[in-house]
Amino acid sequence: MSAFELSLVGGPWGRRLAPRRAWIDELPWDEELPQDLVAVRLVWTRTAFNEYASAAAFAEVATLLLAAGAPIDLVAAAGDFVVDEITHTEVAARLAAHLGGAVELDVRLDKLVRPPASGSAIVRAAELIVRVSCVGEAVTVPVLKIAREVAGSELIRAALAKIIADEAAHAQLGGWFLDWADGQLDDATRAHLGRVAGRALRDLAPREGSRCAVGYGQLDCVHFDPALASAAERCVARPLAARGIVVPPEDLAAVGA
């Protein structure tokens, strides 16, 4: 375990990233926010780490797409999404600091991405894309829209609006890949991918007591639970079913869908 910290080396590498992260500096940072909301500071600290892990996931997706011989524009998109997630990491970290300071997190940087099960490159790519794009990113968009509505802060609303726009594109990658790979996935693989999606949905279900307030990017269960249930059915189960991938009913039931 190690403390989660971010840094910039600057120079030509900082200049290379500058156009993509310019929007962060343009947010209304002059807005004063409460400094004593430890739970909200923890939410944004964890969000920074989760976005960092998402960057690692899309880097792995790009690697597997290359190994599977996927269309080069899909490969390029996955690689480009790494930059999106890194900028989301930065804005979340800055929001935590603006709210009074990040909360210390001990993390395993060598365990950022759960590897897919063994199989051909295309099956491994499909598993990771289902988990990352078809579930994680697809569910994130509607949940973040609600968080934006109840944020109670122009700064946080503006940050979430940009993140939502990026995540929507990230979610679309899954469907495009599955449509391209359609003829290369057999029934057993589709059944496996359905189970993968189900487990990923269960992983997103809140733990008891994990959300106790609403606002500043935090959602309580009254807001989060129905949003997750609706997104699981509308944004995950239906699009996958249209491609012959069925999420087990018991997994949908576990998240209230």
Residue-wise pLDDT for 226-254, tens only, equals 999 999 999 999 999 999 999 999 999 99
- Within a domain: residue 10? no
- Within a domain: residue 4? no
Q: What is the CATH number of the domain that holds 135?
A: 1.20.1260.10
Rg (CA), the chain: 18
- Within a domain: residue 86? yes
What is the pLDDT, as a whole number, of residue 49?
Answer: 96
- Within a domain: residue 6? no
CB of 168 within 8 A of CB of 142? no
Residue 183's domain comprises: 35-254
Could you give the C-alpha distances from 105 to 50, 172, 217, in angstroms and in order? 12, 31, 19
Give the end-to-end CA distance of the chain in Å, rounded to a whole number.
36
What is the pLDDT, as a whole number, of residue 213?
Answer: 58
- Within a domain: residue 75? yes
**Mind listing the pLDDT tens digit of every residue in the chain (257 residues)?**
888 999 999 999 999 999 999 999 999 999 999 888 888 999 999 999 999 999 999 999 999 999 999 999 999 999 999 999 999 999 999 999 999 999 999 999 999 999 998 889 999 999 999 999 999 999 999 999 999 999 999 999 999 999 999 999 999 999 999 999 999 999 999 999 999 999 999 998 876 545 545 678 888 888 888 999 999 999 999 999 999 999 999 999 999 87
- Within a domain: residue 17? no
- Within a domain: residue 7? no
What is the pLDDT, as a whole number, of residue 222?
Answer: 84
- Within a domain: residue 28? no
The tally of domains found in the chain comes to 1
